[in-house]
Chain A
Amino acid sequence: MTTNWVSASQARTDEEVSAPPAYLGQRATLLDLIDRVLDKGVVLSAQLMLSVADVDLVYIDLRAFIASVESARRTGTRSEPIAEVRA
């Protein structure tokens, strides 16, 4: 089993391709951030859902890409920096 415990008191030691922004310290992966910012949180109106629908598509593409990068990083098959990712 490989278990990553990335809590406030347990700093992550492995270098991540999907490096989290500096203010997050060692507590998160970019994949988890994207899961939250694009897929969670309050949605205020049905009207907004129209624009958010585009966000849904971006979310699916972006998440799939970053998940593949993280997965490949674990298996040592890919090393592109996440900075190249743009939706």
Chain B
Amino acid sequence: MIHLYALSAAPNDLAGVRGVDGAPVETLPIEPIHALASRYSDPPFPVTVDRLVEHDAVIESAFACGPVLPVRFGSTFTDERELATHVLPRVDSFVRQLALLDGCVELALRVDFADTDPFRRTRAVTVVVEDLVAAAAGDARAVNTDDKAQGRAALLIERAAVDGVAEVLRRRAGVHPQVQVTLTGPWPPYSFSEHRAVVAP
């Protein structure tokens, strides 16, 4: 079984990197891109927090070397042939996506509002997320507000702009004293790995 972590434009040197359950990480060419994966003899393994952390650690290691498209945990294949069968039909899209993401990182915005009324809570966090994203959109390469009703959004920004965007969001958050705002990152571009998610703000 092959467990897939990410797709990358260049072959990454991950010789010292360990994947889920300590397995070695291989770079498998699927021209013109590469798949980062580990091999296992057993069937798909159950989800644990440790395995999620290990999955992300591989993506982080590859992301330190260049642009990657993180793959959602749980993507397993029988062998390289089956993996290629699923990647090749979309490979042109992946190539374009990797080019768009080059030099960019993801910042994650989370807004929490304690309210027992779920409708009021949803309305409150949606308004705040929209406002914060609008404040930073001018500095973002793209935004993803698919989860704004849950109080979450992601911003794709150039790596050099991280501190500036964080400061913009910090100032804007001050006008929303009723909520808790958490900003984390920089992350690999998890929220921008499907082509539909990368749109101009």
Contact = CB atoms under 8 A, between A and B. Distances in A.
A24 B183 CA distance: 14
Contacts of A1: 173-174, 176-181
Nearest to A9: B163
Interface in A1-37: 1-10, 21, 23-24, 27-37
A86 B96 CA distance: 37
Contacts of A38: 47, 52, 72-74
Contact of B75 (A9, A29, A44): A44
Contacts of A35: 108, 152
B53 to A, nearest CB: 5
A51 B71 CA distance: 14
Interface in A49-87: 51-52, 54-55, 58, 62, 71, 74, 82, 85-87
A36 B56 contact: yes
B63 to A, nearest CB: 12
A9 B70 contact: no
B166 A9 contact: yes
Given A2-B180, A55-B72, A85-B49, A36 B44 contact: no
Contacts of B140: none
A40 B49 contact: no
Nearest to B163: A9
13 contacts: A1-B176, A1-B177, A3-B182, A4-B182, A21-B53, A29-B184, A32-B108, A37-B55, A41-B69, A41-B70, A44-B71, A54-B74, A55-B72
Interface of B: 4, 7, 44, 46-49, 52-53, 55-57, 60, 69-76, 86-87, 90, 94, 107-108, 110, 112, 114, 152, 162-163, 166, 170, 173-174, 176-187, 190-191, 193-194
Given A38-B47, A58-B47, 8 more contacts: A1-B181, A5-B182, A8-B186, A32-B182, A32-B187, A41-B190, A42-B71, A87-B46
